[in-house]
Amino acid sequence: MKKPGLLDLRPTQFVLGMREIEFKIAKIEKFSKAELQDYCDDHQIPVVIGPKGEPFLIDHHHFARACYETQVDTYSIKVIKNLQSKNEKDFWNFMVREGWVYLNDQFGVGPHSPQALPSDIRCLADDPFRSLTWEMLNAGVIKKQDIPFFEFQWAAFFRFNLDRPLHSKSDFKEVIALAKKLSRSKDASHLPGYLNK
């Protein structure tokens, strides 16, 4: 299979955390050529081939967007499953069953129809609560999990439990301190990656 362009990859989520994108962009821009290649080798983009042969990315949306923003073309694609023979309905039913699609938007509203998903990685909205989850992962307060879209479970938890609105221009320092306490609370103990330390 010829490597698809980054804008040919169909997202399976509505949102990103832009703080994570900004961090990845800054990181990529500092890499030497060899470091960049190693980074890309460690972040193979997993895709599922859907009806009409379209590649749907089922992870690494943030990495793909950062590569697009920095014009990196040394990324590689790994085909996890080829479902080209399925019709649209059966394809999306399979994707939902596998947990390979996340259908809530940046307001936590959903699930929406898969047909409403953005057409490419440029069209994903910013969800500051997804950024907040990334901050908790980065700080070691939440443990990274090999569970599709587990970060969005935490984003929903923060959205419902923080006693203040959050947007991209918010002062994250104060919110991060509150989120750390919430992450260690009993209320968060059911979430994947809960550490309580």
* Phi then psi dihedrals of residue 15, to 5 deg: -135, 165
Give the model's pLDDT for residue 164.
Answer: 77
pLDDT, tens only, 100-130 = 999 999 999 999 999 999 999 999 999 999 9
- Name the pTM for this structure: 0.92
Burial of 87 (0-12, 13-18, 19+ CB in 10 A): exposed
Per-residue burial over 117-129, b if 16 or more Cβ lie within 10 Å, else e, is bbebbeebeebbb
Which residue shows structure tokens 């940046």? Answer: 106
φ, ψ (nearest 5 deg) of residue 10: -85, 120
Could you read off the pLDDT of 43-68 as tens digits, one per residue? 999 999 999 999 999 999 999 999 99
Token pair for 130? 């997804």
Q: Are the beta carbons of 28 and 36 closer than 8 angstroms?
A: yes
Domains and CATH numbers, the chain: 6-124 (3.90.1530.10), 127-188 (1.10.8.10)
Q: Quote the pLDDT of residue 168.
A: 64
Instruction: Quick: pLDDT tens for 126-147.
Output: 999 999 999 999 999 999 998 9
Mean predicted lDDT score pLDDT of the chain? 94
